[in-house]
Amino acid sequence: MKNIIIGQSGGPTAVINSSVAGAYKKAKELGVNKVYGMVYGIEGFLGENIIDLDEYLNTDENIKLLKRTPSAFLGSCRYKLPKYEDAPEVYANIFTILDKYDIDAFLYIGGNDSMDTIKMLSDYAKDNNKKQVFIGIPKTIDNDLPITDHCPGYGSAAKYIATSLKEIIRDNASFGIKKPTVCIVEIMGRHAGWLTAAAALAQDDTCEGVDAIYLPEIPFDIDKFTKKIEKLAQEKKSIVIAISEGIQNAEGKFICELATERKVDAFGHKQLSGSAATLASIIANKTGLKTRAVELSTLQRAAAHLASLTDIEEAETVGAKAVEAANDGKTGMMVIMEREKDKKYSINYSLYDIHSIANVEKKVPREWICTKHNRLKTPYLSYVRPLIQGELYPIFKDGVPSHLIRK
Amino acid sequence: MKNIIIGQSGGPTAVINSSVAGAYKKAKELGVNKVYGMVYGIEGFLGENIIDLDEYLNTDENIKLLKRTPSAFLGSCRYKLPKYEDAPEVYANIFTILDKYDIDAFLYIGGNDSMDTIKMLSDYAKDNNKKQVFIGIPKTIDNDLPITDHCPGYGSAAKYIATSLKEIIRDNASFGIKKPTVCIVEIMGRHAGWLTAAAALAQDDTCEGVDAIYLPEIPFDIDKFTKKIEKLAQEKKSIVIAISEGIQNAEGKFICELATERKVDAFGHKQLSGSAATLASIIANKTGLKTRAVELSTLQRAAAHLASLTDIEEAETVGAKAVEAANDGKTGMMVIMEREKDKKYSINYSLYDIHSIANVEKKVPREWICTKHNRLKTPYLSYVRPLIQGELYPIFKDGVPSHLIRK
């Protein structure tokens, strides 16, 4: 390969930049001349907003900083590539730019929507005998890509959620004489409850854990929920509940929509917020208990200072594997991770047809969810625990973590 | 001194337990027999809810864990001690319990309201020739105690706020092609803006910093704010604003009250939440820009995993100094911290009459606030920077920080 280009797409994570680091290092090792970066994903690429990564990543120090920098170093986008028949000029533009920079491989780090871009571009390239190859690199805190065992970004978010919940549980347990405070913690996840499930990790030898976990996979019943809180309030001095932003009632109506306006983003998703605030208000009114709503919000996907070392290393590796795949002439594939069975945690990396991945959402298996006690079962904990292991401490400068940023 | 008792009061912090550790170690060094802990502060004490700290702190390992455990290990309360003339039986009860356990010194870790308890009890003891001494240990993330240079708890909260804002700024800057997203971050602080001021620490070599900071010390003008956002939206691809939960308009009305009900806590404080959500909604409607509200909420006072080592060490020292003061027969005093002038950061510890401290709130000096650009001036940065220096990494077990908890 002469030159390659890499882009970041969709919601950022704490380790999305480690995939850039992994791809860059592997490309240089393979003798690639230029490793370009798309600024603001394919949306920026269409405006020829391209940088040469040598400018930024030519020192070990900068690579170290990049791996500790949250969010998309290159900039991201939520751009939905139109179908060829609707906008042939967009495709012409893309390949004109690729040819202009003599780019052989297009690597795209993203989730379900971003993999749709890889699918459409690789299909177009094959149908039109273009030389370029297109490889997807998995990334999403939501952990909802199919086929792959898990997605880089998830482990770090899970580690942050577990740590923050342990701290919130301690805080909420401070006051214990009067009636308990009910703290409802809202965790990201529209349709898949992977992130919220990570609340189960807060329970250990030194923490009583959350009292219940509500995932969007299971219809949410406000009356049952209220009864559960009333029962807990008789038994406990502190109540902490983890809910997904995407919990819905039996009619499929989002709980947050019971109180707030609905908004829609570029992909037609409903934009949710305020499920915890909505529930906190309902419970306060129904039970008279003091309630508090906490949203982990942006922090859960941006907390590089608490990233999982396992996650960082895996994000690097999927970046490197994508470069190898492109170098081998593969196209229309995403790098996937397979967990070795019956032994200590270990991941095998391979490739999978992008057509089976784009736009498919993987949910938490029903058999891992205990609906009776609103808990996650042991198989989930065995699945998630290895993903949060290890730390890569920030490089502190004057008391705060240092990052690498584009000029 | 034969036996002493220590209690924690008011809102927890990331380092309030380090003061317990410091007091315990110093007491043992001085040959104190029993170091008791009040469970749930004086409210628990009144019900004789008392533990012997030897049960928990008799190993170095447990002391290490205690210093890394957020929130009140002993449990806290928001109990307002009544005046003697209103409830003499409460005072009788307190001294009966103190005598029963043969306690010579009563140490109380807390903020303004808690120091009122020390004031009333020490006054009563003097007036009635009781042998017990009463010493206050400063603690508050709000940093609003007078006389002392700063308060243990503040440095760690400031470090968390600075780090989280750097991460939020990176996240918000990810998407840059379309109109900017306005992210409004709400930081604790009813009347004093110390915590929100710490947002200024997000700006450094590797971060553009927040675009404006709004403290409760300065009346908040929604029209001016809207114009500022509109101007920023023409110049920038990402806008991040830090506001205090307690910002008020010129009429003294809390911004959050423009949208939400008002609640009152045990001390008669208005219970605030939702200033950021209120503003995000107003700005979205007025400007058509996409807005996002982030509340740092409980996390900013509970994030022991990111505590400042300077803060931890100072919290330990004020605990130890309180024991020394009690041993010297001092009473009705709070330990204060004085910064040495004209040299490298260094703190001298001394004692100050509790009557000048209880119920007095110290605000951010006006001359440190630039109202024209909604920024903090250099003297504030020189003041706060030393307080966030250093880290004490968590003891991770299976991927999450370990804590010490009461059984």
Distance CA B315, CA B13 (A): 10
Distance CA A280, CA A289 (A): 10
Per-residue pLDDT for A394 more than 80?
yes
Residue B384, domain member (yes or no): no
| Residue among B177, B207, B301 minimizing CB distance to A171 | B301
Q: Please, how many CA atoms are within 13 Å of residue B14, restricted to the half-sphere of its CB?
A: 36
Residue type, A352: Y
Distance in Å, alpha carbon of B399 to nearest chain A alpha carbon: 4
Residue A130 forms contact with B (CB below 8 Å): no
| Residue among B40, B175, B401 minimizing CB distance to A163 | B401
User: How many separate domains does chain A show?
Assistant: 2
CB-neighbour burial class of residue A251 (10 A; exposed 0-12, middle 13-18, buried 19+)? exposed
Residue B204 forms contact with A (CB below 8 Å): yes
Residue A184 forms contact with B (CB below 8 Å): no
- Look at phi and psi of residue B275 and say left if phi exceeds 0, alpha if psi is from -120 to 50, else beta: alpha
CB B292 within 8 A of CB B181: yes
Q: What is the mean pLDDT of residues A59-73?
A: 97
- Predicted confidence band of residue B122 (pLDDT cuts 50, 70, 90): very high
pLDDT at B259: 61
Per-residue pLDDT for A266 more than 90?
no
Q: What is the pLDDT of residues A324-354, one digit of tens each?
A: 999 999 999 999 999 998 779 999 999 999 9
Q: Are B13 and B137 in the same domain?
A: yes
- Predicted confidence band of residue A274 (pLDDT cuts 50, 70, 90): confident
For all residues of chain B together, what is the average pLDDT? 94
Q: Are B244 and B349 in the same domain?
A: no
Residues in chain B with CB shorter than 8 Å from the CB of A171 are 12, 70-71, 298, 301-302
Residue B374, domain member (yes or no): no
Q: What is the pLDDT of residues B282-337, one digit of tens each?
A: 898 899 999 999 999 999 999 999 999 999 999 999 999 999 999 999 999 999 99
Return the number of other C-beta atoms located less than 10 Å from residue B97's C-beta: 17
Q: Catalytic residue positions of A?
A: 142
Distance in Å, alpha carbon of B330 to nearest chain A alpha carbon: 29
pLDDT at A272: 45
Q: Interface pTM (ipTM) of the complex?
A: 0.95
Return the number of other C-beta atoms located less than 10 Å from residue B322's C-beta: 31
For all residues of chain A together, what is the average pLDDT? 94
CB A383 within 8 A of CB A347: no
Residue A389 forms contact with B (CB below 8 Å): yes
Q: Are A165 and A218 in the same domain?
A: yes
**Per-residue tokens: B347:** 């703190």
Q: Taking Cα atoms as reference points, which of A136, A113, A140, A152 lies closest to residue A335? A: A136
Phi, psi of A54 (to 5 degrees): -55, -30
Distance in Å, alpha carbon of B260 to nearest chain A alpha carbon: 11
DSSP string for B117-147: HHHHHHHHHHHTT-S-EEEEEE--TT---SS
- Beta carbons of A40 and B388 less than 8 Å apart: no
Q: Please, how many CA atoms are within 13 Å of residue A32, restricted to the half-sphere of its CB?
A: 28
Select from A302, A322, A341 the last residue of a domain: A302
Residues 6+ apart with CB under 8 A from B379: B367, B368
Residue A168 forms contact with B (CB below 8 Å): yes
- Beta carbons of B170 and A298 less than 8 Å apart: no
Residue B377, domain member (yes or no): no
Strand partners, B248: B254
Residue A374, domain member (yes or no): no
Residue A9 forms contact with B (CB below 8 Å): no
CATH of the domain at B115: 3.40.50.450
CB B183 within 8 A of CB B240: yes
Q: Are A183 and A129 in the same domain?
A: no
Q: Provide the percentage of residues in chain B whose pLDDT is more than 70.
A: 96
| Residue among A171, A402, A404 minimizing CB distance to B302 | A171
Q: What residue in B sits closest to A203 (Cα-Cα)?
A: B400
Q: Are B178 and B237 in the same domain?
A: yes
- Please, which residues 292-311 of chain B have a Cβ atom closer than 8 Å to chain A? 292-295, 297-299, 301-306, 308
The CA–CA distances, whole Å, from A27 to A56, A319, B70, B106 equal 15, 10, 44, 66
Residue B140 forms contact with A (CB below 8 Å): no
- Predicted confidence band of residue A265 (pLDDT cuts 50, 70, 90): very low
- Predicted confidence band of residue A47 (pLDDT cuts 50, 70, 90): very high
- Beta carbons of B390 and A399 less than 8 Å apart: yes
Q: Locate tokens 């927040």: which residue?
A: B210
Residue B382, domain member (yes or no): no
CB-neighbour burial class of residue A61 (10 A; exposed 0-12, middle 13-18, buried 19+)? exposed
Q: What is the pLDDT of residues B322-377, one digit of tens each?
A: 999 999 999 999 999 999 987 799 999 999 999 999 888 999 999 999 999 999 99
In this structure, the strands spanning B333-339 and B347-353 are antiparallel
Q: Taking Cα atoms as reference points, which of B159, B195, B171, B167 lies closest to residue B305? A: B159
- Residue of B104, B142, B144, B311 marked catalytic: B142
Per-residue pLDDT for A264 more than 50?
no
Q: What is the mean pLDDT of residues A162-171?
A: 98
Q: Are B148 and B7 in the same domain?
A: yes
Q: What is the mean pLDDT of residues B113-132?
A: 96
DSSP string for A58-108: SSHHHHHHHHT--S-TT-B----PPPGGG-HHHHHHHHHHHHHTTEEEEEE
| Residue among B171, B303, B390 minimizing CB distance to A167 | B303
Distance CA B145, CA B11 (A): 14
pLDDT at B258: 74
- Look at phi and psi of residue B268 and say left if phi exceeds 0, alpha if psi is from -120 to 50, else beta: left
Residue B179, domain member (yes or no): yes
**Per-residue tokens: A176:** 């214990």
| Residue among B173, B177, B298 minimizing CB distance to A43 | B177
Residue B147, domain member (yes or no): yes
- Beta carbons of A298 and B72 less than 8 Å apart: no
pLDDT at B178: 76
Per-residue pLDDT for A190 more than 90?
no
- Beta carbons of A176 and B75 less than 8 Å apart: yes
Q: Are B211 and B83 in the same domain?
A: no
Distance CA A143, CA A159 (A): 13
Residue B165 forms contact with A (CB below 8 Å): no
Q: Provide the percentage of residues in chain B whose pLDDT is more than 90.
A: 88
| Residue among A72, A163, A277 minimizing CB distance to B174 | A72
Return the number of other C-beta atoms located less than 10 Å from residue A66's C-beta: 20
pLDDT at A259: 61
Whole-model pTM: value is 0.96
pLDDT at A359: 84
CATH of the domain at A251: 3.40.50.460
DSSP string for B295-319: E-TTHHHH-GGG-BHHHHHHHHHHH
Q: Are A297 and A325 in the same domain?
A: no
Residue A381, domain member (yes or no): no
Q: Locate tokens 């089976």: which residue?
A: A356
Q: Are A276 and A315 in the same domain?
A: no
**Per-residue tokens: B247:** 């910002």
Question: Which residues of B161-247 form beta strands (DSSP E)?
Answer: 181-187, 212-214, 238-244
Select from A302, A319, A340 the last residue of a domain: A302
Q: Hey, what's the torsion of the CAs at B338, B119, B269, B199, to 10 degrees? A: 10
- Beta carbons of A397 and B75 less than 8 Å apart: no
Q: What is the pLDDT of residues B203-251, one digit of tens each?
A: 999 999 999 999 999 999 999 999 999 999 999 999 999 999 999 999 9
pLDDT at A319: 98
Distance in Å, alpha carbon of B9 to nearest chain A alpha carbon: 9
Q: What is the pLDDT of residues B389-403, one digit of tens each?
A: 999 999 999 999 999
Distance CA A353, CA A329 (A): 14
**Per-residue tokens: A344:** 């200590």
Q: What is the pLDDT of residues B74-105, one digit of tens each?
A: 999 999 999 999 999 999 999 999 999 999 99
Per-residue pLDDT for A262 more than 50?
no
Q: Are A288 and A309 in the same domain?
A: no
For residue A331, the enclosing domain spans 3-140+147-152+305-360+391-401
- Beta carbons of A164 and B303 less than 8 Å apart: yes
- Beta carbons of B170 and A308 less than 8 Å apart: no
Q: Are A12 and A114 in the same domain?
A: yes
Select from B256, B280, B302 the last residue of a domain: B302
Residues 6+ apart with CB under 8 A from A99: none
Q: Are B177 and B201 in the same domain?
A: yes
Per-residue pLDDT for B265 more than 90?
no
Cα-Cα end-to-end distance for chain B: 28
